[in-house]
Amino acid sequence: MADDGLRPETLAAHATGVVDGATGAIIPPIHPSTTFERDADLGYSRGRCYSRADNPTYDSAADTLTALEGGAQTLLFASGMAAANAVFLALSPGDHVLVPKVMYWALRAWLHGFATRWGLVVEGVDTTDLGAVRAALRPGRTKLIWVESPANPLWQVSDIAVLADLAHAAGAKLAVDSTIATPVLTRPLALGADIVMHSATKYLNGHSDVIAGTLTTATRDEFWGRIKANQIQGGAVPGPFEAWLLQRGLRTLFPRVRWQSASALDLAERLSAHPAVTEVLYPGLPAFSGHDLARRQMVGGFGGMLSIRVGGGEVAAIAVAAKTQVWKRATSLGGVESLIEHRASMEGPDSPVPADLLRLSVGLEAVQDLYADLDRALSANAGV
């Protein structure tokens, strides 16, 4: 199905609209085969060789995301970490990279552990402070700015368009982890970014039953070729069933994210007035430091993630999480079920996350039930 000006909601719902030519099935088939037959002359006229490089089950999810992001090509990976690693490993030892000071903790640990030992010069910077980014850039040596917006779990919003200009002026590329915003709310490539990354485990799949990651590029250049080689040669690809589940999840991406964003804003507003909560971190609140930028950069909502800081400190925050019933105490986000987590204890002693913070991933439950559950837990703990 050619897009012919179709809206992204339609493209997602139809998974690009490819109907199986052999059967007429409107749902793409799963191809579990690991290998494909060669022609008598040893060629591959049917375009497939080996599943690590080009299993046809990948096509629907990859093509759908390429269309939604407005990119040139999408690659699927076995996890969000595998996708992110492929970008950094496409650089060379000695290259300087700028990354956020507050970011997904596992990638931060990998960068400051493995990547620095491998030879990258990794520098943390507040990517919401454009002056700090300008000062940290090393023209000719800085090869990548990596930004996460909104940034997990404090939800700071970085100015993607300006960061893209700064990166390009210094001879670097800009890669954006847009896991939280999704293409429903933000399209980083349209703002000037070179690469957009998703932990597809989260909102893109949306059902907490797939581990996957994606990268979408604005142009298929030499750097992208190195990333693709990392994917194929490193073997960091999902299985056919995971790829099929990912395209299944993409079909409902728009209604899910919009519902979750509306519920998150409702909860943020209510919790801001709760006597047991000292602060609510959510880009949709006018008092949030990045709200004006979020209004310009995020279209149609502010995402389904928020964090609250609980009066009484770390002990009180952990106690609140222990008392919830509708909210489940678990790592991850973006699924249909609402999750609550004490991030500082999850991330360990080097975490920059305040000890009194609880991260909330809003699901598809009735928002009244979600608030009532939190209110009971907060009030019982604080004696309100």
Pick from 211, 99, 219, 208: which is nearest to 147 by CA?
Answer: 99
Residues 232 and 272 in one domain: no
Identify whether 265 is part of a domain: yes
CA geometry: angle at 254 spanning 250 and 256, to 5°?
90
Residues 85 and 232 in one domain: yes
Residues 60 and 158 in one domain: yes
**The pLDDT value given to residue 45:** 82
Identify whether 364 is part of a domain: yes
pLDDT over 80 at 27, yes or no: yes
Q: Are strands 357-361 and 305-310 parallel, antiparallel or unpaired?
A: antiparallel
Radius of gyration of the chain (CA): 21
Q: Which of 36-40, 138-142, 264-268, 317-321 has the lowest mean pLDDT?
A: 36-40
Q: What CATH code is carried by the domain that includes residue 78?
A: 3.40.640.10
> Catalytic residues, which ones?
52, 104, 177, 202
- What is the domain range of residue 184? 8-250
Number of domains in the chain: 2
Residues 237 and 264 in one domain: no
Identify whether 233 is part of a domain: yes
Q: Find the mean pLDDT for residues 13-20.
A: 82
Q: What CATH code is carried by the domain that includes residue 265?
A: 3.90.1150.10
Identify whether 322 is part of a domain: yes
**The pLDDT value given to residue 23:** 87
Identify whether 144 is part of a domain: yes
Residues 240 and 261 in one domain: no
Q: Which ranges in the chain belong to alpha helices (H)? A: 8-13, 51-54, 58-69, 80-88, 105-110, 116-118, 130-136, 160-169, 182-185, 222-234, 240-250, 253-272, 291-297, 313-323, 343-347, 367-382
The 10s digit of each residue's pLDDT in 187-225 is 999 999 999 999 999 999 999 999 999 999 999 999 999
pLDDT over 70 at 127, yes or no: yes
Phi, psi of 9 (to 5 degrees): -60, -40
**The pLDDT value given to residue 214:** 98
Task: Out of 187, 217, 250, pick the residue that ends a domain.
Answer: 250
C-alpha–C-alpha distance, residues 159 and 34, integer Å: 42
Task: Out of 216, 235, 250, pick the residue that ends a domain.
Answer: 250
Measuring CA to CA, how many Å separate 67 from each of 6, 9, 150?
Answer: 10, 11, 22
Residues 169 and 213 in one domain: yes
The 10s digit of each residue's pLDDT in 275-321 is 999 999 999 999 999 999 999 999 999 999 999 999 999 999 999 99
Residues 117 and 234 in one domain: yes
The residue type of 292 is: D
Q: Could you write out the DSSP letters of every residue in 164-179?
A: HHHHHHTT-EEEEE-T
pLDDT over 60 at 3, yes or no: no
Q: Could you write out the DSSP letters of every residue in 99-122?
A: EESS--HHHHHHIIIIIHHHT-EE
Residues 235 and 260 in one domain: no
**The pLDDT value given to residue 75:** 97
Task: Out of 250, 271, 297, pick the residue that ends a domain.
Answer: 250
Residues 194 and 264 in one domain: no
Residues 258 and 224 in one domain: no
Residues 155 and 230 in one domain: yes
Residues 321 and 238 in one domain: no
Identify whether 3 is part of a domain: no
